[in-house]
């Protein structure tokens, strides 16, 4: 008789595991870098109109700077709080989104390969993205960003072990 314990089911109403706290800092850096072209564009536009004396100084760059600061302060924490995951013995649930909420459950039996990826900002903050690639066309890849690097590698190995046990 098989002595393996029954996997605990995922609880759709259960508490989600939060991502690594450094993920919010990495999001803040990404948002800051994304706002730089808009600030530069506003400064260039203001410089072009300044020579003609059409607008007072700061009329274009000021509001753009205020909007960028508001986005840099607010958006990263909002995105961080809108994400989470649950993992059980045989599946991973990934929840994300505010307006367009996505709740994806990936059974480990459908996983074909697993990636752990880090960009330079992720490496700086010690986080990684775990991506599960599954069979099929629709939502064939499910990414879980913002995991601690060590946790992402441990999760990859746990999922690999489950897949090996299932195929034997």
Tell me the per-residue pLDDT of 56-77, one tens digit each, with 9 for 90 and over: 778 888 999 999 999 999 999 9
Alpha carbons 77 and 98: distance in angstroms, whole number = 12
pTM of the model: 0.81
For 23, counting Cβ atoms within 10 Å of its Cβ (0-12 exposed, 13-18 middle, 19+ buried), the class is buried
Domain ranges of the chain: 24-78, 84-167
Phi and psi, residue 19, nearest 5°: -80, 170
Number of C-alpha atoms within 13 angstroms, CB side, residue 100? 0
Structure confidence by residue, pLDDT tens digits, 22-47 = 999 999 999 999 999 999 999 998 88
Q: Label residue 2 by pLDDT band (50, 70, 90).
A: very low
Q: Which fold has domain 84-167?
A: PH-domain like (2.30.29)
DSSP character at residue 53? T
Structure confidence by residue, pLDDT tens digits, 89-132 = 889 999 999 899 999 999 998 899 999 999 999 999 999 999 99
Which are the contacts of 40, defined by CB distance < 8 A and separation ≥ 6?
Answer: none
């Amino acid at each position: 008789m098989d002595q393996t314990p029954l996997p605990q089911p995922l609880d759709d109403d259960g508490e989600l595991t939060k991502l690594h706290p450094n993920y919010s800092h990495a999001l803040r850096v990404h948002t800051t870098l994304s706002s730089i072209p808009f600030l530069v564009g506003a400064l260039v536009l203001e410089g072009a109109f300044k020579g003609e004396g059409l607008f007072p100084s700061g009329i274009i760059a000021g509001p753009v700077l205020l909007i960028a600061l508001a986005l840099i302060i607010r958006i990263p924490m909002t995105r961080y709080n809108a994400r989470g995951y649950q993992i059980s013995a045989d599946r991973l649930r990934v929840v994300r989104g505010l307006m367009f909420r996505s709740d994806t459950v990936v059974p480990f039996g459908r996983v074909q390969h697993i990636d752990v990826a880090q960009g330079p900002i992720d490496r700086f903050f010690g986080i990684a993205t775990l991506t599960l690639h599954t069979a099929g066309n629709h939502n064939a890849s499910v990414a879980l960003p913002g995991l601690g690097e060590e946790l992402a590698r441990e999760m990859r190995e746990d999922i690999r072990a489950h897949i090996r046990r299932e195929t034997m």
